[in-house]
Amino acid sequence: MYGLDFGTVVRCAALVAALSVGLSDGTALAQGQAGGGAARTGGGMPDARPQLGTLKLPQGFKMEVFATGVQGARSMALGSDGTLFVGTRGNKIYAVVDADKDNTAEKVIELATGLRTPNGLAFSNGTLFVGELNRIVRFDNVLEAVKAGGGSLTPKVVLDGLPSDFMHGWKYIAFGPDGYLYYQIGAPCNICDRGDPYAAIWRVKPDGTGNEVFARGVRNSVGMAWHPETKELWFTENGRDMLGDEQPNDELNRAPKAGLHFGYPYCHEGTIADPEFGANHPCTSYEPPVQKLGPHVAALGLKFYTGSMFPAEYRNKLFIVNHGSWNRTPQAGPIGYRIMLATVEGGKVTKYEPFAEGFLQGRLAWGRPVDLLQMPDGSMLVSDDTAGAIYRLTYAR
């Protein structure tokens, strides 16, 4: 076939399949972590829809649909009036409105379109901050725009001139306890050494000044959370591809201060020297993960639980999303597609266990969780970019 060997044909076919299944908003290819071998398995169902009856949850917990029709739902932010804002890997952001406060949204509004991969969102003082591929913008008086039905917002630039590489270029943004807006610039590759500004977590003041590196050696992070007591930054990191199905693990990292280096591209999961870049860079020179999250699980959003709805033993525990692999070999099978729970004590993880499983049915997934958001009543919202939905997690005795 045009001079291609059989292995190349198989690899191309696998890539096309992944594109057709998971890349309607650019999710699966960039987020999934490659295993070894030519053929790949995993990904979302073409006719994905919420099938919450398949989920396995601890006793007393329940997950229900909060909103549907939120195509490619990714990062979430909550407005001061209860409006839910949802980013995507496409070109639009949504406002999801539950006007009668019955915990089911009545409206899903296309708040703004024509944006460039507006994955990351953060809300503060009536302003919605949006992390696009190569810049951070803000929408002032956004709640008034929601009341008007959206579509008339004009973004104001907070920070421009960021790299426009698509691979690992989408942003996760969040305000830290210091008032800075944190964001990441992922590595523009599977494995490479490009230096600043890549493979780092940055922070900037809301007015666009004071832009600085906070942490280096971070291949790609799409989730940040601050410990409610110590105020230290914890974040997920997606490990590199093509070292096999079972390594390296994605990482849960802790950054108690600025200036730390977490190993990429020289060291993976704290112990594996990179075969290309690891020489003369011992793993002991870098910050090890506080928890290995599993190989190629695509760990994304995470939240420390501080509410009062869940049982007391859940307070300050860390919920972590596993978006799920898309390209592990058939022999290994897909992995992830779940929400995990980490018990954190003294800056360490003392227990790591599944919390919600069942998004994956056999070798196909009807849903892929992305982000978590705690609500004022203590419930938790979960976004799903495959089923295009938002779910509400509650507990009742």
Residue with tokens 């195509």: 71
- Read off the pLDDT of residues 178-194 as tens digits, 9 standing for 90 and up: 999 999 999 999 999 99
- Read off the pLDDT of residues 236-259 as tens digits, 9 standing for 90 and up: 999 999 999 999 999 999 999 999
Q: What is the pLDDT of residue 153?
A: 85
Q: Whole-prediction pTM value?
A: 0.90
Where residue 47 falls among pLDDT bands split at 50, 70, 90?
A: low
Please tell me the least confidently modeled range out of 20-24, 208-212, 282-286, 302-306.
20-24
Contacts of 320 (CB under 8 A, 6+ apart): 223, 236, 252, 293, 299, 301, 302, 339, 340, 341, 342
Residue 30 main-chain phi, psi, to 5 deg? -75, -35
What gap in Å lies between CA 395 and CA 287, rounded to an integer? 36
Q: What is the pLDDT of residue 327?
A: 73
Where residue 149 falls among pLDDT bands split at 50, 70, 90?
A: confident
Q: What is the pLDDT of residue 27?
A: 41
Q: What is the pLDDT of residue 187?
A: 98
How far CA 10 is from CA of 3, 15, 39, 236, 327, in Å, comes to 14, 9, 6, 32, 13
The answer to whether the CB of 245 falls within 8 A of the CB of 332 is yes
Q: What is the pLDDT of residue 44?
A: 54
Select from 224, 267, 222 the least CA-distant residue to 31.
222
Residue 282 pLDDT more than 90? yes
What domains does the chain contain, in order, with CATH numbers? Answer: 6-395 (2.120.10.30)
More confident residue, 135 or 24: 135
Select from 323, 391, 357 the least CA-distant residue to 43.
323
Where residue 363 falls among pLDDT bands split at 50, 70, 90?
A: confident
The answer to whether the CB of 33 falls within 8 A of the CB of 238 is yes
Residue 200 pLDDT more than 70? yes
